[in-house]
């Protein structure tokens, strides 16, 4: 398969020739990667089961892992869901367009491939002008998981998509790097209490400010039942090298990491460190140190997290040590992704 490539400015008109072409291809059942504010998504017509099936083949994604449907208008939402209740309206008013996915009861017309056979559908309105323009031009709801091979770090640039999926998908839209860097938060409003199934770009604290009581699903990590949201069941975001999360007192973490750097280097391992700028100068003997943000501002770490995991791979890093961060605010999403990437492997100091 030849993969088409379009490079677009951040702000683009619905009548732009490339947008017209991309929308036409989506209506014809092709699958095309495009930027959102979180990560690059791999899009297909959510109402076309054959098109949706191509996503699973291209990604190597298990079919019991539901997809998120992306929309550009409230009319498209009404096509997909049975009811938009008061809590949904509050969240839509505060966070759409933006990195929040809401789980609704679905209408019959939504393909079971999209929902993994569930009676619910996950929907969001992305806050990215290219994504919104493509969806509006196609005049379709677009099912779009992250545009990477399943299990690998999610793509935050078109180059990442190209490296993973060139020759496996119909097209890639290059709109530059994404902003948030981790996927959307997923919240389920179909139960008695709003439940966050996946932490992401909207924090649980922000959701609680709008809705009051919001719970974090204890099954986010290690759950074995059928997943109700992307990112709940399978290992994700994994670099090639062995990865561990180091957790504990700052001084002890630094001592332990430096000890492991020496130990692994002696047996010929290339060691990489993922940390914040607070500790950038503390691990001089590592082969590669990647530091983003600070303990007080973790948003740059979230933005560059997947890029960092890919950089470790590009540099042949065999052994990766990631410093744990506090699991509040955006730190909850960061730790969720690190745990998945490391396969839940911790070094507790």
The domains of the chain are located at 4-216, 242-348
Per residue in 170-197, pLDDT tens?
999 999 999 999 999 999 999 999 999 9
70 assigned binding-site residue: yes
Question: Which ranges of the chain would DSSP assign to H, the alpha helix?
Answer: 17-27, 49-59, 74-80, 86-95, 112-115, 129-138, 158-165, 204-211, 250-266, 299-314, 330-342
Q: How far apart are CA 121 and CA 108, in angstroms?
A: 11
Per residue in 18-38, pLDDT tens?
999 999 999 999 999 999 999
23 assigned binding-site residue: no
122 assigned binding-site residue: no
pLDDT, residue 151, reads 87
Residue 272: asked if its preceding bond is cis (omega within 30°), the reply is no
Q: List the CATH code of the domain at 242-348.
A: 3.40.50.11030
Question: In this structure, what token pair is assigned to residue 275?
Answer: 């940390």
Q: Is the pLDDT confidence value at 235 over 70?
A: no
Coil/strand/helix, residue 347: strand
Per residue in 209-234, pLDDT tens?
999 999 999 866 444 444 555 554 54
The secondary structure of 122-133 as a DSSP string is EEE----HHHHH
The secondary structure of 36-47 as a DSSP string is -SSSEEEEEETT
pLDDT, residue 7, reads 98
- Is residue 75 classed exposed, middle or buried when 0-12, 13-18 and 19+ CB atoms within 10 A define those classes? exposed
Q: Is the pLDDT confidence value at 308 over 70?
A: yes
Per residue in 64-103, pLDDT tens?
889 999 999 999 999 999 999 999 999 999 999 999 999 9
Mean pLDDT of 142-163: 96
Mean pLDDT of 119-137: 98
Phi/psi of residue 312, nearest 5 degrees: -60, -45
228 assigned binding-site residue: no
The secondary structure of 113-155 as a DSSP string is HHHTT-SEEEEE----HHHHHHHHHHTS-EE--BSS-TTSPPP
Does residue 186 contact residue 103 with C-beta atoms inside 8 Å?
A: yes
Q: Which of 53-57, 110-114, 135-139, 291-295 has the lowest mean pLDDT?
A: 110-114
259 assigned binding-site residue: no
pTM strictly above 0.85:
yes
Question: In this structure, what token pair is assigned to residue 111?
Answer: 């393909």
236 assigned binding-site residue: no
Q: Binning pLDDT at 50, 70 and 90, where does residue 62 land?
A: confident
Question: In this structure, what token pair is assigned to residue 26?
Answer: 């989506």
Mean pLDDT of 102-110: 94
Does residue 233 contact residue 221 with C-beta atoms inside 8 Å?
A: no
Q: Is the pLDDT confidence value at 63 over 90?
A: no
- Mean pLDDT score across all residues of the chain: 94
Tokens 């770009």, residue?
201
65 assigned binding-site residue: yes
pLDDT, residue 230, reads 56
Tokens 């938060």, residue?
185
Coil/strand/helix, residue 309: helix
184 assigned binding-site residue: yes
Domain 4-216 - what CATH class?
alpha beta
Coil/strand/helix, residue 231: coil
Q: Binning pLDDT at 50, 70 and 90, where does residue 339 land?
A: very high
Find how far residue 153's CA is from the centre of its chain.
9
154 assigned binding-site residue: yes
Q: Which of 243, 283, 287, 289 is nearest to 259 (CA)?
A: 283
Q: Which of 308, 319, 251 is nearest to 274 (CA)?
A: 308
Per residue in 256-287, pLDDT tens?
999 999 999 999 999 999 999 999 999 989 99
pLDDT, residue 226, reads 46
229 assigned binding-site residue: no
pLDDT, residue 143, reads 98
Q: Indicate left, alpha or beta for 180 from its phi (over 0: left) and psi (-120 to 50: alpha).
A: alpha
Q: How far apart are CA 215 and CA 208, in angstroms?
A: 9
Question: In this structure, what token pair is assigned to residue 295?
Answer: 């303990």
* Residue 106 DSSP one-character state: B
Mean pLDDT of 250-255: 95
pLDDT, residue 220, reads 64
């Amino acid at each position: 398969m030849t993969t088409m490539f379009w490079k677009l400015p951040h702000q683009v008109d619905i009548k732009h020739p490339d947008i017209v072409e991309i929308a036409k291809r989506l209506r014809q059942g092709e699958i095309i990667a495009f930027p959102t504010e979180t990560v690059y998504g791999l899009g297909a017509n959510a109402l076309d089961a054959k098109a949706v099936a191509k996503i699973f083949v291209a990604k190597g994604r298990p079919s019991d892992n539901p997809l998120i449907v992306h929309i550009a208008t409230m009319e498209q939402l009404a096509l997909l869901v049975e009811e938009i209740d008061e809590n949904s309206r509050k969240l839509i008013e505060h966070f759409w367009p933006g990195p929040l996915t809401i789980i609704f009861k679905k209408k019959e017309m939504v393909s079971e491939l999209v929902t993994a056979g569930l009676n619910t559908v996950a929907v969001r309105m992305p806050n990215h002008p290219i994504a919104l323009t493509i969806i509006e031009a196609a005049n379709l709801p677009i099912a779009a998981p992250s545009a990477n091979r399943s299990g690998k770090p999610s793509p935050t640039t078109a180059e990442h998509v190209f490296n993973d999926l060139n020759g496996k998908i119909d097209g890639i839209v290059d709109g530059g790097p994404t902003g948030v860097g981790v996927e959307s938060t997923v919240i389920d409003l179909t139960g008695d209490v709003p439940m966050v199934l996946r932490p992401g770009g909207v924090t649980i604290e922000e959701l609680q400010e709008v809705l009051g009581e919001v719970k974090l699903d204890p099954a986010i990590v290690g759950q074995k039942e059928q997943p109700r949201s992307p990112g709940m069941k399978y290992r994700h975001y994994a670099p090639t090298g062995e990865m561990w999360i180091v957790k504990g007192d700052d001084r002890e973490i630094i001592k332990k990491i430096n000890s492991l750097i020496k130990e692994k280097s002696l047996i010929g391992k290339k060691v990489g460190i993922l940390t914040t700028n607070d500790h950038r100068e503390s691990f001089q003997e590592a082969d590669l140190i990647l530091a983003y943000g600070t303990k007080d501002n973790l948003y740059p770490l979230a933005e560059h997290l997947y890029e960092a995991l890919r950089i470790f791979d590009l540099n042949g890093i065999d052994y990766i040590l990631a410093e744990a961060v506090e699991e509040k605010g955006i730190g909850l999403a960061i730790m969720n992704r690190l745990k998945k990437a490391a396969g839940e492997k911790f070094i507790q100091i």
